[in-house]
Amino acid sequence: QDTKEQFFPLLVYRTGPYAPNGTPWANGKQDYIKLVNSQGGINGVKIAFEECETGYATDKGVECYERLKSRPGVAVFDPQSTGITFALTDKAPSDKIPLITLGYGLSASQDGNVFKWNFPLMGSYWTGADILVQHIAKREGGLDKLKGKKIALVYHDSPFGKEPIPLLQERAKLHGFELSLIPVTAPGVEQKSAWLQVRQQRPDYVMLWGWGVMNSTALKEAVATGYPRDKMYGVWWAGAEPDVKDVGANAKGYHALALNTAGTQPKVIQDILKNVHDKGQGTGPRDEVGQVLYTRGVIIQMLTIEAVKRAQERFGKGKVMTGEQVRWGMENLALDQKKLDALGFAGVLRPISTSCQDHMGSTWARIHTWDGAKWGEMSDWYQADDSLLKPMVKAAADKYAGEKKITRRSAEDCGS
Amino acid sequence: MSSSPDIVLNVNGIEVIYNHVILVLKGVSLQVPEGRIVALLGGNGAGKTTTLRAISNLLKGERGEVTKGSIELRGERIENLSPADLVRRGVVQVMEGRHCFAHLTIEENLMTGAYTRSDRGEVAANLEKVYAYFPRLKTRRTSQAAYTSGGEQQMCAIGRALMANPSMVLLDEPSMGLAPQIVDEVFAIVKDLNEKERVTFLLAEQNTSMALRYADYGYILENGRVVMDGPAEGLRENEDVKEFYLGMGGGDRKSFRDVKSYKRRKRWLA
Amino acid sequence: MDLPLQATAQDEGSSRPARRIGEPILEVKNISLGFGGVKALTDISFDVREHEVRAIIGPNGAGKSSMLNCINGVYSPQQGSITFRGKTFKHMNSRQVAEMGVARTFQNLALFKGMSVLDNIMSGRNLKMKSGILAQALRWGPAQREELRHREFVEHIIDFLEIQAWRKTPVGRLPYGLQKRVDLGRALAMEPQVLLLDEPMAGMNVEEKQDMSRFVLDVNDEFGTTIVLIEHDMGVVMDISDRVVVLDYGKKIGDGTPDEVRNNPEVISAYLGAEH
Amino acid sequence: MGFFLETLFGGLMVGMLYSLIALGFVLIYKASGVFNFAQGAMVLLAALAMARFAEWYPKWFGFDNLILANVLAFATAMVLMVAVAWIIERLVLSRLVNQEGITLLMATLGITYFLDGAGQTLFGNDIYTINVGMPKEPLLVMQDTFQGGLLLSQEDLIAAVVAAALVLLLALFFQKTATGRALRAVADDHQAAQSIGIPLSRIWVIVWSVAGFVALVAGIIWGSKLGVQFSLSLVALKALPVVILGGLTSVPGAIIGGLLIGVGEKLSEIYIGPLLGGGIEIWFAYVLALLFLLVRPQGLFGEKIIDRV
Amino acid sequence: MLYRENGQFKTTYAADLQIFPILQDRIAIIALLVLAFAVVPALSSEYFLRAILTPFLILSLAALGLNVLVGYCGQISLGTGAFMAVGAYAAYNFHVRIDGMPLILSLLLGGLMATLVGVLFGIPSLRIKGLYLAVATLAAQFFTDWAFLRINWFTNNSASGSVSVAGLSVLGMPIETPVQKYLLCLSFLAVFGLLTKNLVRGAIGREWMAIRDMDVAAAVIGIRPVYAKLSAFAVSSFIVGVAGALWGFIHLGAWEPAAFSIDRSFQLLFMVIIGGLGSIMGSIFGAAFIVLLPIFLNQVPGWFGLSISTALASHLEFMVFGALIVFFLIVEPHGLARLWSTFKEKLRLWPFPH
Ligand SMILES: Nc1ncnc2c1ncn2[C@@H]1O[C@H](COP(=O)(O)OP(=O)(O)OP(=O)(O)O)[C@@H](O)[C@H]1O
Ligand SMILES: Nc1ncnc2c1ncn2[C@@H]1O[C@H](COP(=O)(O)OP(=O)(O)OP(=O)(O)O)[C@@H](O)[C@H]1O
Ligand SMILES: [Mg+2]
Ligand SMILES: [Mg+2]
C-alpha cells in the first residue's frame, strides 16, 4: 500500500429517529481519533477518517460501506446498527475487512471460528441479558429466589430487540421465572398498550430492550401507569443520557446495563478535553464529552486503534495495516489493566483479551442507576455465565455455518 | 395601442402555447366595446376556449401561457392579475364543460358564485333572480351538482356566474347540452342583462345562428387566427358563413339526411 | 373477419337503399327509477325496432340519460324490465349488456383521457380479444396476430371517422368535437347491434353536426345497426330519426314519427316551444 | 372490569390525540383537495420551534419565567407556521393549481423532506423538552369501586380535553359559514373556484396557517409527552387510519374515527395481541379502517365519492 | 432535424405495432442495451456497480411493477414494501427449504407468492378508491412487517428474525462479483421491462388504463373492473415481489423486515410519480433520480472542499432533495418521462420554433 495513513470509515447516524443517541456516540469516536492523531498517531501512522451518514437504514449503510471500503488504508468498519451488521456480515469475508460491533450485532458471532471477521467486543445481547438476570437474582437474594417471579421484556420489535429472547427463555426455564414478551412497534412513539399490559400483568421486573425514542417514551409511560422505575432494567443501549434526559427526575431509580462508566474523571476524557476540545477541535458540544454513549464511542475507537497497534507489533511498526492484518490484531487483543491505565482508561472498562475462538474478549458489565439528574451508582461487575452461553453460541454458530456452508476454521487458520 | 374609451376589453395579437410546445393561438386580436355582445365563432379546436382562458387568466392551470401580445381591460394590462382580481373587476367566465362543484348542492354552487359580494340582501335577491331565470334549478336546489343532469349543470354554471353580479361575462358555449327552449331562454337572459344592466358579453359559441342573432359583432376564429370579423348582420349574410356555419349552402337549410358525404374543407384553413 | 365498413368509402349517399326496419329488438317496459326523492323515470315503456333510428328527446333533466343508463346496466331501475332480442331481464351488469351487443356514447365525454385515440378505440375491441396475460406479455404468434387483426378493424373505423391525423394523440388534448368522434369510434369498435348515443352533437357547429349525422346514418345503413339517439338539436332529430320518444319530468309524453311528435301539443308546450 | 375500563379510557384519550393530528389532514384536504403528507413534518417543526424558543428566550433576554417563555415561544412558533404556510402557497401550491391529487400529494412529500431538513438545521436534532406544566403523575380514581382502582393519566386527560375543544371549535367554524363553503368549492375544482373569484392564494394561506396552528397544538401535546425529536413526525402515521375511517372530508369524522381507532387498537392489543404474539395494534388499526371502508368506501362521515357518467 | 419521424412511412400495421416505431428510437434503445450490458460493467468501479447500479436496477424493477398498478391501472398503493418483503421472504424459504432449488426459480416463485398476497390485498380495491385505497394498502405494509418479525417459520426460525442467503449461482455460474450481480439484475430489468411494455400496449394494458381513466365507461364497453384491477395487482406484485427477492438476495444478502419498511413504499411511489406515471422509461428515470440524487448531493460539499458536519450535510441534502422534487413537479407534473418526450417533441420541431 502506498498510503501513509490508516483510514477509519465512520458509519454514523446524526439524523433520523435515532439521531439523539447516534450523535454522542459518533462524536466520541471522532474525538478519540483526533486525540490519537494529536499525539502522533499509531506509532507514527496518522489516522484519516470520513463519516458517512446512514440514518440507521440498512441500504444506506451498505452504500456507505461500498463507498468507503476501497479507500487506501481502510482498517475496520463499525456499522453502528444491528441491521447493517447483518448485511455486512456476508460481505466482510470477501472484502477482507473486519467488523467491530461492540455491544451489539449477532450474539452468535462471538464464535470466531465461524465468524472470522466479526468482533462483538465486550458483550452481546445474550451476555447483557444474562447479567441482568444475575443482577435481579442478586437483588432478590439468589437465583433460586427467581422462582415464580415474573419478568416482562419490553422490546423494540426488530432483530435488535428480539436477540435476548432465546437467552431469557433459557434462563426462565432454568430458574422457573415467568417471562412475558411485550413488543413495541418501532420506533416506539406509542406505547400505551404495552404499558397497559405491564400494568395488567404486574411483573416484578421489566427489562427494557429499547433504542432511541422508545426508551424515554417507555419511561414516561411507566410514570403514567405508575410502574416503579427502580424495577426497570434497561440494556446498555437504553442506559444513556438521551434516554432519560427529558424524563428527568421522573426516571429516578431506573437502572440499566453499563458497559462503561460515564463522567469526565477518566484520564482519557481529560486528555480529550485538553488536547482536542480546548484546541477548538472538538466534534460535538463540550458538555457532552464523557457521557455514556460518548465514552462508548471512545472505547470503540480505542479498541480499534489498539488492534491496529497489535497488528503492527506483528506486521511492522509504523506501517499502515491492511484489513486482514487488523483482523489479526483484533483477534489477538490483550489489554490488561496496566495497558488500560496507561491509555487513560482506568476504571472505565475491564481488561479484555480476545482469541480465535472468542471474539468478544470480555463479558463483564455493571448496572448503573439514574439518580434523576445523572447516571450514578454503579453495581459490582458481573460476568456472563459461560456454562450457559457457550453452548448457545456454539449451537447458533453451527446453524449459521450450516446454512452458509462454512466450515469451522482450522487450527492453522487460527494461528495465521 | 389606441383603445377608444368605450372599449372594455382589448386583446392584442396574443399567442398562446400549451405545455411549452403546442402553439394554439397565433396572434389573435379582438375588441369588446362596453355594453355590447361580441360573439367568438369557429369550429372545433379553433381556439375559442383558449382565447377566453387567456383573458380570464385561467391558462395557468392548463399549463398554457400567453407568450406574445397584450390584454387590456379598460386600459389596464391584466395578464398578470389573478382570476380572482378579474372577478373583482367585474369579469366572470362561464367555463366550458360546466365545472360545477360536484359535492356542493345546486344552491351552494350558486352561493359560492357570490363569494366576492358582501351584501346579503342583494345576494338573496340575486339568487331569486337566477331561480326565476332557471326554475329547473329551484326544484333541484338541494341535490348535489354531480347528480344533476347535464343541462341542469349547465344552467347552474351560468347561474353561478350571474351571482357575482358581473359587468362583463365571458360565456363559453352556453348553449351546449341545453334543450331548445332553454337555449332561447339563455340568449334571452343575455339580451336582457345586456340591455337592462349593460352587462358586456363575450360569447364563444358553436350555435352560430343563435349567436349571430343576438350578438352585435362577431369574430370568426380558425386554427388560432381571426379569419373574419364584422358586425353580426354582415356576417349573417356572408355566403361562406352561411355555408359553413349556418348550414345553408345555396339559400335553404339542408336536411341532415341529405348532406353530401364527400369531404368538404373550409376554404380558410391556414 | 368481415369488414363491411370498407363499403362506405365509395358511397356517395345520394340514393339510399330502402332500410329494412324490422321487429322490435329492444323493449323497455314500465321502467321506474328514483334517486332518493327525485323520480328520474316513471313507468316508461317504448320499443326500438331493428335497424331504425330511434330518438329520445325532452327537456333538461327529463330522464333521457338515465334511460340509457338503465338500458346498459349503469343504473338498475326499481321497477320494470328490459327485453333485448326476446330475452327479458330486470337488471344486468354492464359487461353482460356489452356482450349482447349494446354500445353507447356519453353525454359528458367519458373517454379515457390518458390514452391515445387509437388505444381508446382499440379498447372497444377488448371484449372480442381472447389472448391470456402470458401470451400478451410474450406477444407470441396468436396474440400478435389477434392484436393485428383488431388493429386493422380499428383503422377502418379511424378512416371512416376521418381522424387519421390524430391516431397517436392523447385524447385529452383534442378539441371537444373530435373527442365526440372518438367516443363514437370506441362504441363502433364493439360492432354493436344497438348503439346508444347521448347527445353526440352537442357543442358542434352546423358543419360538424352534418358530419356527425353522416356517420350515424352510414353506420345505420351499412351495418344495419339500430340507433337510439338523444339530441337537443331538433333539426337533426327530425331529419334523421325514424321515430321519436318524448320524455318530460321522467314521464313519457309522446311517441311517434317526427311529424307526429312535432305536432303533438303536449310536446310543443313542454319541450319544443312555439317556434319549432 | 377495572382494567377493561382503564384500557378503554386509555384508548379514548390516545384516540383524541390521534384526532388532533388527523384534523390537520382533514382541514387541508377539505379546503384544497390536497392530501397533506407534510402534516407530520409540520408537527415536528412547530414542536421544535416551541421547545427551542422556550429554551432560548430566557437565555437571550435573561428572565426565567416559565409561563412567559412558553407564551413567547408559542407566539413565535405560530408566526413561523404562518410564514411556512405563506411560503408553501407562494412557491408550491400556486404553481400546481388544477393538478391531479396525486401530484399534489407528492409535492407535500417533497415539502416533508424540506421541512424535516430545515427544522433540524435550524433547531437541532437532539431531544428537547416542552414543559408547559403538564402533570406527569397518574390519577387513581374509583378505588372503592374496583380493586386496585382506575389509573388515569392526568397528562392524557388534559391533552384530550384540549384536543376535543380544538376539534369542536374548528368543526363549528367550517360548518355552514361562507368561508367553509368556499373551501369545499376549492377542493372540488380549483379552476372553477378561481373563475368565480375565490382567491385561491389567500384561502390556502389561511387554511395552511390553521393547519399549522393545529400542528403546533399537536406538537406541544405530543412533544411534552414524547420529547421533541425527529420521531415526533412519525405520529402522523398513527393518524392515517383515523383520517380514512372518519372520512377525509369530515371534521367530526376525525374525532369519531380517532376514538374508534384509539379504543380499537388498545383493546385489540391487550385482548387479542397476546394470542398472536403481540405488536398487532399498528396493523390492527389499518385493518379496522379497511374493513370499515369495505362497508362505507367514503369513511364514516366523508362525502360520498362521486362517479357518474 | 436529427430527430424526426417524417418520411418514415409504415406500410403495415405490424410495423406500426413495433415497440419503437421510430427508427431513431430503435437505434437509441439498442445502443442503450449495448451500453448497459457491455460497456458499463467494463468501465465501472466496484463501488459504482455494487452500491449504485445494482440497487438502482432493482429499484427500477420495483418501480416498474408499481407503475403497472399506479400509473397504468390508477390504484395508488403504499404497500409496495410489503409485496417486496413477501417476494424476498418467500424466495428465501424456497431457497433454504428446498435443496438444490435454482436461484432464478426461487426468485420467480417469490414473485408468485407476492402475486397471491397482492391479489388478496387488491380485493378491497374493488370497493375502495383513490386516497382511501392508498391509506388502506398500508394495512398490507404493517401486517407483513409484523408477520415476518413474529412468525418464526418465515425466517426459518432465526432467533432474531433476520435472514441471510449465500452461495448464489445461476446455471452453475456463481453470482458473486459485482459484475455478475449487476448483469443478473440488468437482465431481469430488461426482460421484465420488455414483457411489461408488451402488456401495457396490448389488450390488458388498455383495460388497466381504461379503468384508471374512467371506470364507469370502461364497464360499459365490457371491461370487468374485477379482472382488470386484480390482474394489475397480480402483475404489479409479481414484478415487485421479484424485485424484493433480488433486493434481499443480491443487494443486501441479509435482511430484516425493516429493509422493506414503509419508507421503501414511499420511496417507490416517489419514483413512479417523479419518473412519470404510466411510463416504463419513467420508472427507470424515477429510480435513477431517487437513488442517485441523494448520493450525488451527499458528495457535492466534498467537491467544493467544504467540510460541513455530517448532520448538517444530511439535513441540507434532505432540503435540497425535497425542493428538487417540488421543482420537478412544478416543471412537469407528469414526470421526467413527459419532460423527456416534450423535449423530443421540441427536437422534432427544431430548428423551427413552431
Ligand atoms: N390543455 C391543453 N393542452 C394541450 N393542448 C390543448 C389544451 N387545451 C386545448 N388544446 C388545444 O388547443 C386547440 C384549441 O383548443 P380550444 O379548446 O381553445 O378550441 P375551441 O375553439 O374552444 O374548440 P371547441 O369548440 O371544441 O371547444 C385544440 O387543438 C386543442 O387540442
Ligand atoms: N345518480 C343520480 N343521483 C341523483 N339524481 C340523479 C342521478 N342521475 C340522474 N339524476 C336526476 O335525474 C334526473 C334526470 O337526469 P338525466 O341525466 O337522465 O336527464 P337528461 O334527460 O339526460 O337531461 P339533459 O338533457 O340535461 O342531459 C335529473 O333531475 C337528475 O338530477
Ligand atoms: Mg371550446
Ligand atoms: Mg342527459
How many Cα atoms within 13 Å fall on the side-chain side of residue C196? 24
pLDDT score for B268: 36
The string of pLDDT tens digits covering residues D269-289 is 999 988 888 889 889 999 999
Say which residues have a Cβ less than 8 Å from residue A227's Cβ, sequence separation at least 6: A195, A198, A199, A206
Residues in D touching A219 (Cβ below 8 Å): none
Containing domain of residue E188, as a range? 22-349
For atom 31 of ligand 2, which residue has the closest CA?
Answer: B148
Q: Mean of the pLDDT values across residues A78-86? A: 89
pTM here?
0.91
Please give the share of chain A, as a percent, with pLDDT higher than 70: 99
Indicate which residue's Cα is closest to atom 31 of ligand 1: C174
Where in chain B does DSSP place strands (E)?
Answer: 7-18, 22-33, 37-41, 64-73, 76-77, 91-94, 168-172, 200-204, 217-222, 225-231
Q: Which of A242-246, D83-87, E265-269 has the lowest mean pLDDT?
A: A242-246
What is the average pLDDT across C104-123? Answer: 91
Distance from the alpha carbon of residue E320 to the mean position of ligand 4, in angstroms = 50
Least Cα distance to B46 among B212, B172, B178 occurs for B172
Q: Please compute the mean of the pLDDT values over residues C127-152 and round it to a whole number.
A: 86
DSSP at B173: S
Burial class (CB in 10 A: 0-12, 13-18, 19+), E102: middle
pLDDT tens across D155-211, in order?
Answer: 888 888 888 888 888 878 776 677 778 888 888 888 899 998 899 888 889 889 999
Domain borders along chain D are: 2-230
- 3-state DSSP call for residue A234? strand
- Closest to A128 in 3D by CA, of A407, A414, A401, A389: A389
- Can you give the pLDDT at residue C2? 40
Q: How far apart are CA A187 and CA A210, in angstroms?
A: 9
Q: How far is ligand 1, taken at its centre, from the CA of residue B17, in Å?
A: 11
| Amino acid E301: pLDDT | 77
For residue E202, is pLDDT > 50? yes
| Low-confidence residues of chain B: pLDDT under 70 | 1-5, 247-254, 259-270
Write down the pLDDT at residue E258. 87
pLDDT value for C161:
87
- Distance (Å) from CA B43 to ligand 3 centroid: 9
Asked if E74 and E218 touch (Cβ cutoff 8 Å), the reply is no
CA atoms of D258 and D279, how far apart (whole Å): 19
| Residue E227 confidence (pLDDT) | 94
With beta carbons under 8 A apart, name residues in chain C contacting B264.
207
Q: Are strands B22-33 and B168-172 parallel, antiparallel or unpaired?
A: unpaired
Task: State yes or no: pLDDT of C4 exceeds 50.
Answer: no
> Are the C-beta atoms of residues E228 and E96 closer than 8 Å to each other?
no
pLDDT > 90: percent of chain E: 51
- Distances, alpha carbon A288 to alpha carbons A26, A153, A243, A370, D126, in Å: 12, 30, 14, 17, 12
Residue A320 to residue A309: CA distance in whole angstroms: 10
Q: What stretch(es) of chain B map to CATH 3.40.50.300?
A: 1-90+170-252
Please state, in angstroms and rounded to a whole number, the distance separating the CA atoms of residues C111 and C107.
11
What is the Cα–Cα distance from E196 to E190, expressed in whole angstroms? 10
Given a contact cutoff of 8 angstroms between Cβ atoms, the answer to whether B189 and B139 are in contact is no
Fold of B1-90+170-252: Rossmann fold (3.40.50)
CB burial of residue D92 (10 Å; 0-12, 13-18, 19+): buried
Convert the pLDDT of each residue in E43-102 to its tens digit. Answer: 888 888 988 999 999 999 999 999 999 999 999 999 999 999 999 999 999 998 888 889
Q: Is C148 close to E231, i.e. CB distance below 8 A?
A: no
> Which of the residues B87, B107, B112, B119 would you substitute to probe the D interface, choosing the one with the greatest number of D C-beta atoms within 10 Å?
B112
Measured between alpha carbons, how far apart are the two ends of chain E, in Å?
A: 13
pLDDT digits (tens, 9 = 90+) for E36-53: 898 888 888 888 898 899
Query: What are the residue ranges spanned by the domains of chain C?
Result: 1-101+192-276, 113-191
Distances (CA, A) of B150 to A347, C74, C182, C186: 85, 16, 20, 21
Is pLDDT above 80 for E118? Answer: yes
**What does the block give as the cell for A307?**
488492534
- The count of domains in chain E is 1
Q: Which of A37-41, B243-247, D53-57, E220-224 has the weakest average pLDDT?
A: B243-247
For residue range A343-386, what is the model confidence (pLDDT) as tens digits? 999 888 999 999 998 999 999 999 999 998 889 888 999 999 99
Q: Is residue E354 part of a domain?
A: no
**Chain mean pLDDT for chain E:** 88
Atom of ligand 1 nearest to the CA of B52: 18
Nearest residue on chain B to D189, alpha-carbon basis: B101
pLDDT band at A75 (very low <50, low <70, confident <90, very high): confident
Residues 6+ apart with CB under 8 A from D308: B146, B147, E216
Distance CA D90, CA D195 (A): 19
Task: Please state whether beta strands A118-119 and A46-53 pair in parallel, antiparallel, or not at all (unpaired).
Answer: unpaired
Place of cell 420529547: D227
Interface ipTM: 0.90
Class of domain C1-101+192-276 as given by CATH: alpha beta
Q: Do chains D and E touch (3 or more CB pairs under 8 A)?
A: yes
Beta-carbon pairs below 8 A across chains C and D? 6
- Say if ligand 2 is within 6 A of residue B146 CB: no
Cα Rg of chain A (Å, integer): 21
What pLDDT, on the 0 to 100 scale, is given for residue A34?
94
Which residues lie with the beta carbon below 6 Å from any ligand 1 atom? B 18-19, 22, 24, 42, 44-50, 62, 96, 206; C 173-177
Residue ranges near ligand 3 (ion) with Cβ within 5 Å: B 48-49, 96
pLDDT reported for residue E9: 61
Residue of C35, C196, C233 with the most ligand 2 atoms within 8 Å of its CB, for mutation: C35
- CB within 8 Å of A178: residues ≥ 6 apart: A148, A149, A150, A151, A172
Inform me whether the pLDDT recorded for E3 exceeds 80. Answer: no
- The answer to whether B214 contacts chain C (CB < 8 Å) is no
Residue E320 in any domain: the answer is: yes
Q: What residues does C87 pair with on adjacent strands?
A: C84
Ligand 1, atom 1, lies closest to the CA of B62
**Residue in B209, B206, B210, B204 with CA at minimum distance from that of residue B182:** B210
| Interface residues of chain E, partner chain A, Cβ below 8 Å | 45-47, 50-52, 55, 96, 146, 149-150, 156, 159-162, 164, 166-167, 176, 251-259, 263, 295, 298, 309-311, 313-315, 318
Residue among C187, C150, C157, C121 nearest C6 (CA): C157
The number of the ligand 2 atom at minimal distance from the alpha carbon of C64 is 21
Identify whether E2 is part of a domain: no
pLDDT in tens, A291-309: 999 999 999 999 999 999 9
Q: What is the DSSP string of A256-313?
A: EEESS--SS-SHHHHHHIIIIITTT--SS-GGGTT-HHHHHHHHHHHHHHHHHHHHHH
Interface check D63 vs E, CB under 8 A: no
What pLDDT is stored for residue A107 in this prediction? Answer: 87
CATH number at residue E71: 1.10.3470
